[in-house]
A and B are shown apart, each in its own frame.
Chain A
C-alpha cells in the first residue's frame, strides 16, 4: 500500500480542522472572563462554569437526562436481547418484516415521531409525564441496542449451548450461564450506545417533554433559540467533556468502530 502524498495530507489537515473547529471554539469561548461572547487570549476564567450552579433548571434537566437515558437504555436492552436472539438464529416467516419494524425508528424522521407521541400521550393521559418520555425514548434507542446485540448473537458459536443442553442444563440455565456471558460485550455496548442516543436526543423530545420533565439538550436548544451567551458555551463544554470521556473509555474497552457499526445500514 502506498503512503499518502502531500496533497492528501493537506486535505486531511483541512478536513480535521473543519471537524474540530466548531467543537474547539465552544470549549474555548467557555473560558472567557468577559460577560459577553469573546475569545479569551490572555486571561482564562472559570466564572461561566461556576455560573451554571446558579441555574437549577439546567442541573435538574441534567439529572432528568441521566435518569431517562438509564431507564430507556436498560428497558430497551431487556426488550432487544430476546428479540435479537430470535432474529439472529431462527429462520421463520416474517423475520425480515420483524427486523424492518425494529430498525424503522432509524429511518422515520424524529419530528414525525415527536408529533405522533405528543398526540398519542395526550390522548391516553401520559402527556408531559416522565413515563411517556421513557416510552418514547425506548422506541428511538432500541434499534441501536438491537443492532449490536444481533451482531454479537450472530457471531456466537452455538455448539457451546448445545453442549450445555446435552449436559442437562435447562433453557434458563443455558441462557444465564452460557448465552448471556457470550453476548455480553454486544449487550453492554448496545446499552452504552442507547444511553448516548437518549442523552443527546432533541428533536423528538422537544415535542414530548413538559417544563418539569425537560432534558438537558432540550433546555439548551430552547435557550439558544432566545440568546447565545457564554453560559450556554460553558454548559456545552461540560456536555462535550463528558461525551469525550465516555468515548475514550468505550474506545479503550470495546473499540469505537465496532460500537459505531450500530450506525451503518444492514451490511
Chain B
C-alpha cells in the first residue's frame, strides 16, 4: 500500500519522516539549552562548586556590573562597525562582480567566496602575521620605509578585531547581495539609461532598491556572526580585549564559575534573538510600505 494511495495516512507521514530529527534536536539541543538557562540561576562557590538552588545573583551581577556592561557594549560596537564595513565594501564589490564577463566572474567568485570554507583560525592567523607587532609584514615594511616610527597597533585593539572580522564575514554579505542581484532584470538599468538617468541615479534609484532585501538579510547574518564571534577576537584581542563570547569562555574554562558563564551566554543569546527578530519585523514593515 503506497502512501500516495492512502490520504488518511498522509497527515502522519511528514511527522514520521521528520520524527527522528525532531527527537534528536529536542534531546541534544533544546534540553541542553534549557539546562543552561537553569544553570544561570544556580549558585557557585570555589569551595562547594555548583549549588542547584534558585538565585538571581548571577543575573544581577551580569546586568548591573560595569565590567559586564563594558564587554557587551564592546561586542555591540564591534558588531555594528563590522556590519557597516561589510555593507560598504561588499555591496559595491558584488555589483562589480555582477558586471564582469562570465569567465572572470566565476574566477573571482571562487576567490572571494572560497575563503568561507577556509578555517577561521588560519584566516585570523594571516592578520596576526601581517600586523602582529614588529615582525608583521606590513608594520616591518612601513617601518623600513620610514612611514611610521612605531608599529601600527593592531593586536589587542578593537580596530584589529574589526578588520579581521570584516575579512572573515564579508563573503556572507557578497553572497547575499549577489543572490539579490541575480534577480534584477538588467533591462531596468538600460531603460533608466535610455531615459537619460545618470549612473549615480541608476545606482541609487534602480539598483539599490532592488538589492536592498539582500543587503539587509546579509547584514543580519553578518551582525549575528560578529556578535557571537569567538576565535577571531580571542586570537587578535587576546585576554586584554574580551568580547561576550570570549568572556563566557573564560568564566567556563578558566574561572570555572559555570553559572556566571551561563548567564553571560544566555544574555548573549537572548540579546541576539531580540535584535534579529526586531530588525526582521522592521524590515518587513518597511518593505510592505515600499511595495504597496
The answer to whether the Cβ of A212 comes within 8 Å of any Cβ in the partner chain is no
Chain A, 79-94, contact with B by CB distance < 8 Å: what is the 0/1 string?
A: 1101101110010100
Any B CB within 8 A of the CB of A220: yes
| A26 with B126, Cβ < 8 A, contacts A118-B252, A196-B117 known | yes
User: Chain A contact residues (Cβ within 8 angstroms of B): what range?
Assistant: 35 or more
Complex-state Cα separation, A239 to B13, whole angstroms: 43
| A-contact bits for B124-142, CB 8 A (1 contact / 0 none) | 1111111010010100000
Q: Are A170 and B269 in contact (CB under 8 A)?
A: no
- Any A CB within 8 A of the CB of B228: yes
Q: Are B22 and A101 in contact (CB under 8 A)?
A: yes
Q: Is B87 an interface residue (CB 8 A)?
A: no
- Among the 9-residue stretches B60-68, B144-152, B172-180, B284-292, the one with 4 or more Cβ atoms under 8 Å from chain A is B172-180
Q: Which residues of A contact B261 (CB under 8 A)?
A: 115
Among A14-22, A45-53, A55-63, A180-188, the one that faces the other chain is: A14-22
Q: How large is the interface on B (under 10, 10 to 19, 20 to 34, 35 or more residues)?
A: 35 or more
B11 touching A16, Cβ below 8 Å: no
B110 at the interface (CB under 8 A from A): yes
Q: How far is the CB of B2 from chain A (nearest CB, A)?
A: 5
- A residues 1-19 near B (Cβ < 8 Å) are 1-4, 8-9, 11-12, 15-16, 18-19
Partner of A25, one of B129, B172, B186: B129
A83 to B25, CA, bound (A): 12
Question: Closest approach, in angstroms, between the C-beta of A163 and any C-beta of chain B?
Answer: 11
Residues of chain B with a CB closer than 8 A to A80's CB: 21
Contact for B117 among A38, A85, A200, CB less than 8 A: A200
A157 interface residue, CB < 8 Å from B?
no
- Complex interface: chain A residues within 8 A of B265 (CB): 109, 111-112, 115-116
Select one of A86, A113, A220, A264 contacting B17, CB under 8 A: A86
Closest to A199 in B: B119
The answer to the question of B162 belonging to the interface, with a C-beta cut-off of 8 Å to chain A, is no
Q: How far, in Å, is B220 (CB) from chain A's closest CB?
A: 7
Cβ–Cβ contact A119 & B32, under 8 A: yes
A236/B119 in contact, CB under 8 A: yes
A119 and B258: CB pair below 8 A?
yes
Q: Which of A94-141 contact B (CB under 8 A)?
A: 95, 98, 101-102, 104-105, 107-113, 115-120, 123, 135-136, 138-139
A162 to chain B: which residues have CB within 8 Å? 4
Q: Please, which residue of chain A has its CB at the minimum distance from the CB of B229?
A: A203
Give Cα A90–Cα B261 distance, bound, in whole angstroms: 41
Complex contact B224–A107 (CB within 8 A)? yes
B197, CB-defined interface residue at 8 Å:
no
Residues of A within 8 A of B4 (CB): 161-162, 165
- What chain A residues lie within 8 Å of B15 (beta carbons)? 86, 92
A240 at the interface (CB under 8 A from B): yes
A228 and B128 contact, CB distance less than 8 A: yes
| B112 and A107 contacting across the interface, CB-CB below 8 Å | no
A87 touches B18 (CB 8 A): yes
Tell me which residues across on chain B come within 8 A of A20, comparing CB atoms.
111
A224 at the A/B interface (Cβ < 8 Å)?
yes
Residue of B nearest to A140 (CB): B29
A window 139-194: CB within 8 A of B: 139, 142, 161-162, 165, 170-171, 174
Bound CA span A248–B273, Å: 36
Which of the residues B175, B234, B253 comes within 8 Å of A260, measured between beta carbons?
A: B175
Nearest 9 CB-CB pairs, A to B? A22-B126, A109-B228, A120-B32, A116-B32, A86-B14, A86-B17, A236-B122, A82-B17, A83-B18
- Please list 8 pairs of residues, one from A and one from B, whose beta carbons are closer than 8 Å in the complex, sorted by A's number: A21-B130, A26-B125, A92-B11, A110-B228, A111-B249, A113-B29, A119-B32, A240-B122
The interface of chain B, by Cβ under 8 A from chain A, is 2-5, 10-11, 13-15, 17-18, 20-22, 24-25, 28-29, 31-33, 35-36, 39, 89, 92-93, 96-97, 99-100, 108-130, 132, 135, 137, 164, 167, 170, 172, 175-176, 178-179, 186, 189-190, 217, 220-221, 224, 227-228, 230-231, 234-235, 238, 244-245, 248-249, 252-253, 258, 261-262, 265-266, 268-269, 272-273, 276
A residues near B (Cβ < 8 Å) are 1-4, 8-9, 11-12, 15-16, 18-26, 29, 36-39, 79-80, 82-83, 85-87, 90, 92, 95, 98, 101-102, 104-105, 107-113, 115-120, 123, 135-136, 138-139, 142, 161-162, 165, 170-171, 174, 196, 200, 202-203, 206-207, 217, 220-221, 224-225, 228, 232-233, 236, 239-240, 243-244, 246-248, 251, 256-257, 260-261, 263-265, 267
